[in-house]
Structure 1
Amino acid sequence: MLSFFQKIFTVQFETETIILRLEAAINQLKESVAEWVDPILLGATDVKRVFLSPKAVEEVLPGKTIIQDWAPYKPLESNPEKLVRQELIWMVDDKEEPRIISLGTAPYRVPFGTGYHLLNIDIFGKHFPRVRNQFLAQIQQRTSTLKGPVYCVLSFESSMWHDMLSFCQTALGLHIDREH
């Protein structure tokens, strides 16, 4: 069910290198006002209201489902409450009329090599410039406290695969490590 709605790929980067590339990409996008809308970090009190809003459920969430780290959650009152207890970063492009919603996990150590961390980012919505902005903001939020190598598993609307691949390669110098 997941692959029908979302495309998933993994990129690998060194935190110290990506920080500079993130700043450059964000600054370049901010210079073009039409390209950048600041992602809004949601607090726990806003999560349930935004994620359970009829607009988000009907128009943004794939299959009317919250997907976090490959696990599907129906938009029921109890599920956002469960997810808020995790150390997720919740972002939207607009609190009242969201077109893009994203969830980012706290990085956790993985045994791929010395010092590796894994970061999962799930982005919902179909407007590529705002999806790209959420991706950049999610990475920026987490890399500020990391050092060393990171695997980032990114999930997004499958129709944007070529745009996201091109952006990752040209603006950030990243290459797909794995595609799912």
Structure 2
Amino acid sequence: MYKALLIALSASVAFTAQAEQEKEYLTQDFYVGGNLSAYSLEGNNGASFGAHVGAKNIYNERFLVGGEFVIAGYGSSDFEKEQNASEKYSIAGNIPLGVRIDAGNALNVDIYGLLGYKVLFLDGASDDYIKGVSFGAGADLDFEHWALGLQFSRTEYDYEITDNTVMLKGSYKFNL
């Protein structure tokens, strides 16, 4: 009985010592930047440009979760020619959830999935806007103060309208 108690106590002390060496901690990145996108709205291609602001919480330099706000302006597209309506701008909110991989020399690679909501404002359509749920994936090369990323997202709007977007983004990063 005493041997079992001694073994349990020893294991508890060893586990506590190991936990003290591997402290859990949280770091935060805040970023702001610009983006350029190519999209396909109901099979009609176009381009957009915009700005984004966001934050990532990185847990133990490995797991990340964050929030991102994106606003984009739209140029002319095939959608305008075929539907007699034009895209004006969009507003989106995304939640990235993923992992951070340390690539050495102040370089990290963030790989994440996206879940969000997007509103696309239209001109000349029966509705002023369409809205829907977005999902996708992305990867960022994360330097000390800069980040360069590529994201793919798909939005399922009202009226069974879909939008596929590939976005290239550049960001200036503030470490908090």
Q: Same fold (TM over 0.5)?
A: no
Q: TM-score, normalised by structure 2?
A: 0.26
Q: Which has the higher contact order (CA 8 A, sep 6+)?
A: 1
Q: 1 or 2, which has the higher strand percentage? A: 2
